[in-house]
Amino acid sequence: MTTEPVAGAAIDVRGLRKSFGALEVLRGIDFSVARGEVVCVIGPSGSGKSTLLRCVNLLEEPSAGRVTVAGTEVTDPEVDIDRVRRRIGMVFQSFHLFPHLTALENLTIAQRRVLRRGRAEAERIARSHLARVGLSGKEAAYPAQLSGGQQQRVAIARALSMDPELMLFDEPTSALDPELVGDVLAVMRALARDGMTMLVVTHEMSFAREVADRVVFMDDGSIVEEGTPEQVVGAPRHERTRTFLARVL
Ligand code: ADP
Ligand code: MG
């Protein structure tokens, strides 16, 4: 059974199911993210967190259910998914920068090709976002000349330079050396403070506790519990959540 979407939500997911062959990875997910809200998704490896994110921008096609992003039902077969995707910034565990382009060029290429911005405007916007993530002076650097944390901040700045209405993060700090995690989380924290709508898959419980408005715990393709960080991380009601937290905290 599918309930009605929440009006005005940035992301609304109803009755979402996803199978790969015989394997059911999402078993009926209902949740929504309000505009300006920061929601962290936590849960064990293989529980379906990445698949959920990928269903939100249709990198995966849901097997059943409805996904609505900023008022557009992306699961409607008539929808122009490229137009919807343009409004969603996505940051992955691996940075996916173009290795043969400088940091500045990594930020301007999609602005110019997709948004049709002229070079001067695209570069101005790119510089402002590189400054925002603390990378002024690195415009001419190639990805290989940057640390992992700097590369991930370039990836965040690149997503921001497309003026997204919301941002999806899939374990953005998991591939980083521990000493580089803090700079990336600081950028994300500032973004949250600026009012960006964010759906963040993370194992960083301190980030979830400090920054998330809501935490969703997933296990085995279902949402087991959700609530404020104090509720879900601080006082979990379900045994499965407690077991997971005992492993990561
Ligand atoms: P998480 O991000 O929580 O670790 P995933 O969403 O990546 O979990 O994966 C959930 C399950 O779906 C895993 O069992 C994974 O092996 C499976 N899976 C993910 N993507 C595919 C795919 N393209 N084809 C087949 N199985 C997949
Ligand atoms: Mg994952």
Instruction: Evaluate: CB of 197 within 6 angstroms of ligand 1.
Output: no
Find the Cα–Cα–Cα–Cα dihedral 55, 113, 79, 69, rounded to 10°: 50
pTM (predicted TM-score) = 0.96
Residue 1 has pLDDT above 80, yes or no: no
Give me the pLDDT at residue 131, please.
98
Q: How far apart are CA 9 and CA 30, in angstroms?
A: 13
Instruction: Evaluate: CB of 47 within 6 angstroms of ligand 1.
Output: yes
Instruction: Answer whether 28's CB lies under 8 Å from 36's CB.
Output: no
Helix (H) or strand (E) holding 38: strand 38-42
Give me the pLDDT at residue 2, please.
55
Q: How far apart are CA 238 and CA 234, in angstroms?
A: 12
What angle (nearest 5°) sits at the alpha carbon of residue 51, between those of residues 46 and 54? 150
Residue 35 has pLDDT above 80, yes or no: yes
Residue 187 has pLDDT above 90, yes or no: yes
Residue 5 has pLDDT above 90, yes or no: no
User: Cα–Cα distances in Å, from 223 out to 60, 148, 182, 217?
Assistant: 19, 31, 28, 6
CA of 118 from ligand 2 middle (Å) equals: 36
Instruction: Evaluate: CB of 202 within 6 angstroms of ligand 1.
Output: no
Angle between helix axes 178-193 and 148-160 (nearest 10 degrees) is 20
Instruction: Evaluate: CB of 221 within 6 angstroms of ligand 1.
Output: no
Q: How confident is the model at residue 182 (pLDDT cuts 50, 70, 90)?
A: very high
Dihedral sign (CA 44, 42, 233, 221): negative
Q: What is the percent of the chain with per-residue pLDDT over 70, rounded to a whole number?
A: 99
Instruction: Evaluate: CB of 50 within 6 angstroms of ligand 1.
Output: yes
Q: Which of 60, 78, 72 is nearest to 16 (CA)?
A: 60
Mean pLDDT within 89-108: 96
Mean pLDDT for the chain overall: 95
CA of 235 from ligand 2 middle (Å) equals: 24
Closest CA to ligand 1's atom 15: 46
CA of 10 from ligand 1 middle (Å) equals: 25
- pLDDT digits 0-9 by tens, 75-96: 999 999 998 999 999 999 998 9
Q: Which atom from ligand 1 is nearest to the alpha carbon of 53?
A: 6
